[in-house]
Amino acid sequence: MRFLSGKVIGGKIVVEGETLQEGSRVTVLTDLDEQTFSLTSEQEEELLQAIASVERGEFMDGDEFLRTLGQQD
C-alpha cells in the first residue's frame, strides 16, 4: 500500500508523477474545505498499520465501541 497525492482535474483524480495500474483499487480521502495535513514517517507507518488491521477485520464497529463506553464507571 502506498500513499499518493493528487488533484481533481476535469472531474478525474490525477496523481502526478505516478502511474497506477488499470483497475487498481484506491481509497480517496477528501476535505471539502481544502485543508491539508502532513504526517511524520512514524505517523504514516501507524496509519498504514491501522488500515491493515481493519482490512484483516481487526476493528470495533461504532455500536460496539459505544457499548464499551457504557460499561465503564
H/E stretch holding 65? helix 62-71
- Secondary-structure breakdown of the chain: helix, strand, coil percentages, each rounded to the nearest 5: 35, 10, 60
pLDDT digits (tens, 9 = 90+) for 26-41: 887 776 776 777 889 8
Low-confidence ranges of the chain (pLDDT < 70): 1, 31, 34, 72-73
Cα–Cα dist 41/46, whole Å: 9
Beta-ladder partners of 13 = 8
